Chains A and B, each alone.
Chain A
Amino acid sequence: MSNRSSTQLKALYPYSFEAKDKRENFPAPLLYIGWEDHHLFCSPVCLPLPAETPFGALSQAVLPGVYGAHPDFARIDWNAVEWFKSGEPWQPDPARSLAENGLGHKDVIRFRTPGMTGIAGSFA
């Protein structure tokens, strides 16, 4: 992660525009979710999810609609799943909301399902 104060941008006039993807522009904060070792789904997904959504609803209500078509999905032991936030190991509380778990607009989380590496071990 970086936080630069001076940039290389050169312009003829003062150059300041609002961020197009600020929180207020969306009906709910965006959450990015990736399933490690499974790339049948070509990329992580982007979902607007209300901040009060319980984290546990991800595995029960949200992710089945996203990843349910994968043959590994039904075999996932959600108690054994490892979570990552911005790439760092992370332990969310399923009973608390996304916001209470510290998830904000445009955060990225990933989950790893130990022992599963996709179709025929190909990471698909």
Chain B
Amino acid sequence: MDTPVIKKKLGLKDRYGVMTRGLAWDTTYQPMDKVFPYDKYEGIKIHDWDKWEDPFRLTMDAYWKYQGEKEKKLYAVIEAFAQNNGQLGVTDARYINALKLFIQGVTPLEYGAHRGFAHVGRHFTGAGARVAAQMQSIDELRHFQTETHAISHYNKYFNGMHNATQWYDRVWFLSVPKSFFEDAMTAGPFEFLTAVSFSFEYVLTNLLFVPFMSGAAHNGDLSTVTFGFSAQSDESRHMTLGIECIKFMLEQDPGNVPIVQRWIDKWFWRGYRLLTLVGMMQDYMLPKRVMSWKEAWEMYAEENGGALFRDLARYGIREPAGWKEACEGKDHISHQAWNTFYNYAAAAPFHTWVPEDSELKWLSEKYPTSFDKYYRPRLEHFRAEQQAGKRFYNTTLPMLCTTCQIPMVFTEPGDPSKICYRESTYLGDKYHFCSDGCKHVFDDEPEKYVQSWLPVHQIYQGNCFKEGTDPTKEGFEPLAAVLDWYGINVGRDNFDFEGSEDQKNFDAWRGNSPNKPSGSEGGAA
């Protein structure tokens, strides 16, 4: 039989309808609820899926064309960067550690988002939402790939970028982003969208991508800027999807409002905690600074986010619980996070250091009420110790928050001199948290978080050694055995920046032959 030919060229809107919603049908051999088991059990009521407005009327063929063009430009830049030894053009080898943080902690999240959206894209009964989620799933997979490709050039020359996938599953601090996404992916489909599309993409993504990419631009890293812009143009589509999804749920049924509010509370807090890593990158890891974390927070969270929640008030939605604590944290979290990685630099696959005097001065200016009082003295102490040959490393494992999995480093709202401790008891066992926000998340669904894979506890349970390791053997060194299981090259990937292979190589490449291409001089490995 011949394929029917549509004779008349369809208008854009009709064409969109045919290419997306026209692909859906109601099942007859099996009941719809059995084929689509997921989109009801969370309690979200949808009365009319056709009311879903697609923010971008994008069809698959248009998607290929548009993204293909973008990708061509991106790979041209990446290639030119490689051919011209772009890695030598960055401000300082310390900057590379921001890229390590990105490949270790952010890129795997893109892959997690891809998986999550693929799942959601299969399981909504509404065709419009299905297509939008599937399209985003492909976006996220592309981001995972292009970021890996762009950073792979640096991997030839610097340490700490060769093992990101294994690290994501094993290394202690990467359990923070991993647990965020696994929490979202194991929630229902509407909660996943609230977590990732709305709270993460819409409310917080600017705080992730803009500082990273402007940081890259300021520090001479054209390759990263380009993948950043390529991804960011998709992010705006994701953000629109996020807000559309929230509005759709809120407009469909008033019963959805309290459910959505609870998810907003939860995922705003989890996302805020996750972005601690970005705050630290911004204030400490960029040799040329763009804006402080505090300034970024004020612009992207307080101004934009504040306006958003005023806008959502008409649906009965208020600003997320924890919003005020988060705003207060802008003066502290980047310093507290850097202190953590300075403490545990032996166990993380990137380098840390004490900022130079000019950088300390910048931090004093940007944080006039907190930096000199609470954070400068410890950094100066660390520097003196390091210069005396006694670089400080914390050798005892930290207490972790059961929910966000970050060491308990955050201080009480209103009192930066006191660590914030919260605890709950569930079925006779105690659980500990870094904040009211994390405690509330646990108390709402303790069944979920009693399963948290807390790296410190896993180490003590003996689950983080290579097979065949005998911890009772004479001379057994637990840290060495854990780092071996992590897959960290001890002495290359970890410890202080000062004296690192990265530092020595970069100085040699730049100092010995500053004006000629030096790719032939060999990489770090």
> Would you call the interface of chain A mostly helix, strand, loop, or mixed?
loop
Q: Is A44 a contact of B430 with CB atoms below 8 Å?
A: no
Cross-chain contact A15 with B447 (CB below 8 angstroms): yes
Tell me if B461 and A43 are in contact (CB < 8 A).
no
Q: Chain B, 405-442, contact with A by CB distance < 8 Å: what is the 0/1 string?
A: 00111010000111101011111011110000001000
The answer to whether B400 touches A42, judged by C-beta atoms less than 8 angstroms apart, is: no
Q: Are B432 and A20 in contact (CB under 8 A)?
A: no
Is A123 engaged at the interface, CB distance under 8 Å to the other chain? yes
Structural contact, B397 and A45, CB atoms closer than 8 A: yes
Whether A105 and B399, one on each chain, are in contact in the complex, defined by CB atoms closer than 8 angstroms, is no
Q: Would you call B423 and A108 a contact (CB within 8 A)?
A: yes
A30 and B451 form a contact (CB under 8 A)? no
B429 touches A42 (CB 8 A): no
- CB-defined contacts of A69 to chain B, threshold 8 Å: 392
Interchain CA distance A42-B462 in the complex, whole Å: 24
A16 touches B432 (CB 8 A): no
Contact between A66 and B396 (Cβ–Cβ < 8 Å)?
Answer: yes
Contact string against B for A residues 1-45, beta-carbon threshold 8 Å, 1 for contact and 0 otherwise: 111100111111001111111100111001010101101111111
Chain A: residues with Cβ within 8 Å of the partner, total of 55
Find the B residue at minimum CB distance from A62. B396
Contact call A7/B397, Cβ cutoff below 8 A: no
With a cutoff of 8 Å between Cβ atoms, the chain A residues found around residue B461 in the complex are 25-26
CB distance from A15 to the nearest CB of B (A): 6
B460 and A26 contact, CB distance less than 8 A: yes
Kindly list chain B residues whose C-beta atoms are within 8 Å of the C-beta of A9: 444-445, 447-448
Q: Which of A51-59, A73-81, A93-101, A114-122 contacts B (4 or more CB under 8 A)?
A: A114-122
Chain B residues 447-465 with CB under 8 Å of chain A are: 447-448, 450-454, 456-457, 460-462
Give chain B nearest CB distance to A2 CB in angstroms.
5
Contact (A43, B376) CB under 8 Å given A108-B421, A108-B432: no
**Of B43, B409, B439, which one neighbours A42 at CB under 8 angstroms?**
B409
How far is it, in angstroms, between the C-alpha of A40 and the C-alpha of B343 when the chains are bound?
A: 8
Considering the chains assembled together, what is the distance between the CA atoms of A43 and B343 in angstroms?
10
Q: Shortest Cβ distance from A50 into chain B, in angstroms?
A: 13
Residues of B within 8 A of A106 (CB): 429-432
B452-A43 in contact (CB<8A): no
Out of A34, A37, A41, A66, which one reaches B417, CB within 8 Å?
Answer: A37
Of all chain B residues, the one with the shortest Cβ separation from A36 is B418
Report yes or no: A3 in contact with B425, Cβ–Cβ below 8 A: yes
Q: Smallest CB-CB separation from A9: which chain B residue?
A: B445
Tell me the smallest distance from the CB of A94 to a CB of chain B, in Å. Answer: 21
The interface centre, meaning the residue of A1, A30, A45, A87 with most chain B CB atoms within 10 A of its CB, is: A45
* B465 smallest CB distance to A (angstroms): 13
Q: Which of B343, B424, B439, B451 contacts A20 (CB 8 A)?
A: B451
- The complex places the Cα of A2 from the Cα of B422 at a distance, in Å, of 10
Mask of B359-400 contacts with A, CB within 8 angstroms, 1/0: 000000000000001111110010000000000101111111
With a CB–CB cut-off of 8 A, which chain B residues contact A16?
447
Q: Is A86 an interface residue (CB 8 A)?
A: yes
Known: A12-B37, A46-B397, A122-B377. A4 touches B454 (CB 8 A): no
Least CB distance from A43 to B in Å reads: 4
The answer to whether B432 touches A47 (Cβ under 8 A) is no
A48: interface (CB < 8 Å): yes
Choose among A3, A7, A119 the residue that contacts B445 (Cβ–Cβ < 8 A): A7
Report the minimum CB–CB distance from B138 to chain A (whole Å): 27
B399 touches A124 (CB 8 A): no
Is B447 within 8 A of A123, CB to CB?
no
User: Do the beta carbons of A43 and B407 come within 8 Å of each other?
Assistant: yes
Q: Given A4-B443, A19-B429, A117-B417, A124 and B37 touching (CB < 8 A)?
A: no
Report the bound CA distance from A65 to B394 in whole Å: 10
* Complex CA–CA separation, A105 to B424 (angstroms): 13
Q: A10-B188, A65-B396 are in contact. Are A19 and B427 (CB under 8 A)?
A: yes
User: Chain B, 319-363, contact with A by CB distance < 8 Å: what is the 0/1 string?
Assistant: 000000000000000001001101110000000000000000000
Partner of A8, one of B343, B407, B445: B445
Question: What distance in Å separates the Cβ of A27 from its nearest Cβ neighbour in chain B?
Answer: 7
Q: Whole-angstrom distance between the alpha carbons of A41 and B398 in the complex?
A: 9
CB of A37, distance to nearest CB on chain B (Å): 6
Given contacts A8-B444, A34-B419, A40 and B424 within 8 Å (CB-CB): no
Listed residue (A30, A36, A46, A66) with the most chain B CB atoms within 10 angstroms of its CB:
A46
Residue contact B421 to A42, C-beta cutoff 8 Å: no
Contact A44 B447 (CB under 8 A): no
Nearest B residue to A67 via CB reads: B396
Question: Do A39 and B378 have beta carbons less than 8 Å apart?
Answer: yes
Partner of B377, one of A46, A66, A120: A120
- Shortest C-beta distance, A16 to chain B (Å), equals 7
Tell me how far the C-beta of A19 lies from the nearest C-beta in chain B, rounded to whole angstroms.
Answer: 4
Is B42 interfacial (CB 8 A cutoff)?
Answer: yes
Q: Known A-B contacts: A8-B262, A12-B38, A43-B398. Give 4 more (CB < 8 A).
A: A36-B419, A42-B344, A44-B408, A46-B457
**A residues lining the B interface (CB < 8 Å):** 1-4, 7-12, 15-22, 25-27, 30, 32, 34, 36-37, 39-48, 65-66, 69, 71, 86-87, 104-108, 110, 117-120, 122-124
The chain B residues found within 8 Å of chain A, CB to CB, are 37-38, 41-43, 188, 262, 336, 339-340, 342-344, 373-378, 381, 392, 394-400, 407-409, 411, 416-419, 421, 423-427, 429-432, 439, 443-448, 450-454, 456-457, 460-462
Interchain residue pairs A-B with the least CB separation, the first 4: A124-B378, A43-B407, A122-B377, A19-B450
Pairs across A and B, CB under 8 Å, 26 listed: A2-B439, A3-B425, A4-B446, A7-B447, A8-B444, A17-B450, A19-B450, A25-B461, A27-B462, A30-B460, A37-B418, A39-B339, A40-B378, A40-B381, A42-B343, A43-B399, A44-B399, A46-B396, A46-B399, A48-B460, A71-B381, A106-B429, A108-B430, A122-B377, A123-B416, A123-B417
